Amino acid sequence: MATRWPNPLCFPPQIAGVALTFLVAVLHTPPFTSAQEQPPPWLLCGPYPPSGNYTENSTYQGNINRLSGTLPKNVSSSPVLYGTGSVGSVPDIVYALALCRGDANASSCESCVATAFQGAQKGCPHFKDVLIFYDLCQLRFSNRNFFPDDDNFATAYYLVGSQVVSKPTDAFDAAVRLLVNTTAGYAAGNSSRRFATGEEGFDGSNPRIYALAQCTPDKTVDFCQGCFGPIINRMPEVFSGVNGGGVFGTWCSFRYEVYPFFSGRPLLQLPVFVGMPPAPATRSQEKSMNKAGKVLAILMPAIAAMLIITVICFWTRRRRLAAQSFEPYSTSSEDIQGDDMLLLDLSTLRVATEDFAETKMLGKGGFGMVYKGVLPDGQEIAVKRLCHSSRQGIEELKSELVLVAKLHHKNLVRLVGVCLQEHEKILVYEYMPNRSLDTVLFDCERNNELDWAKRFNIISGIARGLQYLHEDSQLKIVHRDLKVSNILLDFDYVPKISDFGLAKIFDGDQSKYVTRRVAGTYGYMAPEYAMRGLYSIKSDVFSFGVLVLEIVTGRRNGGLYNSEQDVDLLNLVWEHWARGNVVGLIDPSLNDHHHPPIEQILKCIHIGLLCVQRNPAARPVMSWVNVMLSSSTVRLPSLSRPALCIQEVSATDSSDAYSPERPGASGYTDSSVLMSCNEASITELSPR
């Protein structure tokens, strides 16, 4: 069924009633015939307003053919698989728009758009205005400029499934509306692509429901929401009880099915939908229910008693274990002491930090404070002190203590000692005079200190430290919170990876883990970890790639964006890389130094993009990264679009993370606080 959809937000009020009556009449034609579930392509010839026809071999047809030779390639090379164009002059000018589905690859996108030009001219011969939909792409060309946002009409095609789901249809309809609305909302807020996919469980004849929503990437959030709203509101009238359907428009579209019709895992995973209340029971059902009620009346007290006993036992055991966890260091000192680590007295640390004076504070994190101190032998230290009242951070502190005490590498921060007296839990590190990398890199006054030689050495040092964690140490360790504020710089700007509170050890031959507790920092987390809880050494490789691009460009990946047109750093770099003008993104402060080596900088950008590939298998291991960094003869692999990045803005993310006036997450603190605007909590994500 094809029809024209008037946008009620901007439709001329004097004809809105007539148009709406026409729309309802069309939609109330017999809704569940096989003709309505026809395969693509879906065509609309001459959408409103009528644009007339062109003649064979005319100038207008020649302009269409010229566009068909350039637009498919332009769309497929775009990071968002979207493109527009125009050829000719009035009255033979042709405007065109093409959009590929967000899960398509470049080659299939180019092929689809090229086929759409042919299908449009074949299916709608000599029509000047044609809208055609294929499974993976859509195309519209017209002699009318339909690009402006004030276009009063959005042409739409309704695809209605042929099969009615088994009852209860109300519950199924409610589940579909929830999934489609959630997916459309996510797509509208996705500033880089305006695309989303979703999956939802349904306890009925259809166990899973899948949805896809997409808006043209050049539109704003408000425009996309205004586009999705009216077409989704038509669902109760058009798609009630139907196993699949969709509305495909020039600016926005959605579709749902009871089978996976898109590539890759869904970006959203909703839990099983809780059904609607059941219909009133019949008399025979009431008799059965009365019998069942008598049986339950006998069994329920016994079951309840057993549950109470089980809960009491479980709670008692849990409290006992929790109490033990608050004394995690009751083991012998040999179990926790490294070769160079000391068990320090609290009195010594009080003297070193002037009794933890505020003037000595370097930073403030989710689990406590970090202070600068000086030991009696003159050694400068950074003292990480866990808050007494905090029940959080115990496991993170234990993890950091055990791991760092056993790890020794030039590019890992060294744990000097530990203090466990008078209920204090304190870790003491070597002091880094240049503090964390973010305090230098993102400071407009200090970033001149980082010439390209220093930046390249920082990148190489981080890579060597990660290789040691992943491959060369006795333990195979995933850091899980690698970011710019967790890279400390010593007097010579040698980088040291810090904060191992979220690190995990891989046992045996295991290559990946799945966790229900996702903790880290938005903007640096690999998508498979942030969305599905799946982490491996390739998760750290993704974070390293983000770091490299930040170091080269001098831009934050998780910064505050004030414009809807802004994209995250990864996609911004990719867009410029694809256009061949990525040099324009290099940190301008590097121009203050003499002739930075452009080839080496471009190689680092290439490696950074390689590390943030969507598929973890396409990301290199750190040993190979070090080979690529150090060799001038190794051929770098080809690239594809980076993964979609999730970003949040943190109240603690400041360019002066050590400043007592603006305390933030320092390199010595547990930086998972960046996931929350509340500095006293950890945000734990449960993948949906």
Is the pLDDT confidence value at 653 over 80? no
Is the pLDDT confidence value at 131 over 70? yes
Per-residue pLDDT reduced to its tens digit, 300-324: 666 776 777 776 666 566 555 544 4
Residue 206, pLDDT score: 56
In eight-state DSSP terms, residue 162 is S
CATH number of 42-142: 3.30.430.20
Query: Which range (20-29, 57-66, 104-113, 453-462) has the least confidence?
Result: 20-29
In a 3-state reduction of DSSP, which class is residue 138?
strand
Q: Which helix (H) or strand (E) holds 495?
A: strand 495-497
Residue 7, pLDDT score: 34
Is the pLDDT confidence value at 543 over 90? yes
In a 3-state reduction of DSSP, which class is residue 213?
strand
Query: Which range (53-57, 323-327, 659-663) has the least confidence?
Result: 659-663
Contacts of 588 (CB under 8 A, 6+ apart): 554
Residue 163, pLDDT score: 66
Average pLDDT, the chain: 75
Per-residue pLDDT reduced to its tens digit, 579-595: 989 999 999 888 766 67
508 — pLDDT class (breaks 50, 70, 90): very low
22 — pLDDT class (breaks 50, 70, 90): very low
Query: Which range (127-136, 290-299, 596-605) has the least confidence?
Result: 290-299
Domain ranges of the chain: 42-142, 162-273, 340-431, 433-643
Distance set, CA 671 to CA 74, 362, 649 (Å): 42, 14, 14
Residue 148, pLDDT score: 66
Concatenating the DSSP letter of every residue in 411-440 gives TB--EEEEE--TT--EEEEE--TT-BHHHH
Of residues 124, 151, 162, 156, the one with CA closest to residue 138:
156
Round the CA-based radius of gyration of the chain to a whole number and report it: 30
Per-residue pLDDT reduced to its tens digit, 218-252: 888 888 888 888 888 888 888 888 888 888 888 89
Q: How far apart are CA 688 and CA 685, in angstroms?
A: 9
Mean predicted confidence (pLDDT) in 650-679: 34
Model confidence, pTM: 0.47
Mean predicted confidence (pLDDT) in 6-31: 29
Residue 545, pLDDT score: 95
Mean predicted confidence (pLDDT) in 364-388: 83
Contacts of 304 (CB under 8 A, 6+ apart): none
Per-residue pLDDT reduced to its tens digit, 615-641: 888 899 998 898 899 887 778 888 888
Q: Is 384 annotated as a binding residue?
A: yes
Q: Over pLDDT 70: what percentage of the chain?
A: 68
Which of 173, 438, 481, 653 is catalytic? The answer is: 481
Mean predicted confidence (pLDDT) in 186-208: 80
Identify the residue with better confidence: 520 or 322: 520
Mean predicted confidence (pLDDT) in 507-526: 65
Contacts of 214 (CB under 8 A, 6+ apart): 99, 101, 102, 187, 194, 195, 196, 252, 253, 254
Is the pLDDT confidence value at 551 over 90? yes
Strands in 368-374's sheet, in edge-to-edge order, are 342-343, 415-419, 426-430, 380-386, 368-374, 361-365
Q: How far apart are CA 365 and CA 369, in angstroms?
A: 6
Is the pLDDT confidence value at 490 over 80? yes
Tell me the backbone φ, ψ of residue 242, rounded to 5 degrees. -95, 145
CATH number of 162-273: 3.30.430.20
Q: How far apart are CA 386 and CA 425, in angstroms?
A: 6
92 annotated active-site:
no
Residue 507, pLDDT score: 58
Is the pLDDT confidence value at 442 over 70? yes
Topology adopted by domain 433-643: Transferase(Phosphotransferase); domain 1 (1.10.510)
The structural architecture, per CATH, of the domain 340-431 is 2-Layer Sandwich (3.30)
Is the pLDDT confidence value at 1 over 70? no
Mean predicted confidence (pLDDT) in 518-547: 85
Residue 477, pLDDT score: 86
Per-residue pLDDT reduced to its tens digit, 404-429: 667 788 999 888 888 888 778 888 88
Residue 287, pLDDT score: 55
Per-residue pLDDT reduced to its tens digit, 174-189: 888 989 998 998 888 8
Query: Which range (25-39, 252-266, 352-366) has the least confidence?
Result: 25-39
Of residues 184, 166, 193, the one with CA closest to residue 235:
184
Query: Which range (54-68, 129-143, 620-634) has the least confidence?
Result: 620-634
Residues 331 and 343 sit within 8 Å (Cβ to Cβ): no
Identify the residue with better confidence: 217 or 271: 217
Q: Beta-carbon neighbour count of residue 436 at 10 Å?
A: 30
Same fold, 162-273 and 340-431: no
Query: Which range (361-375, 541-555, 640-654) has the least confidence?
Result: 640-654
In eight-state DSSP terms, residue 661 is S
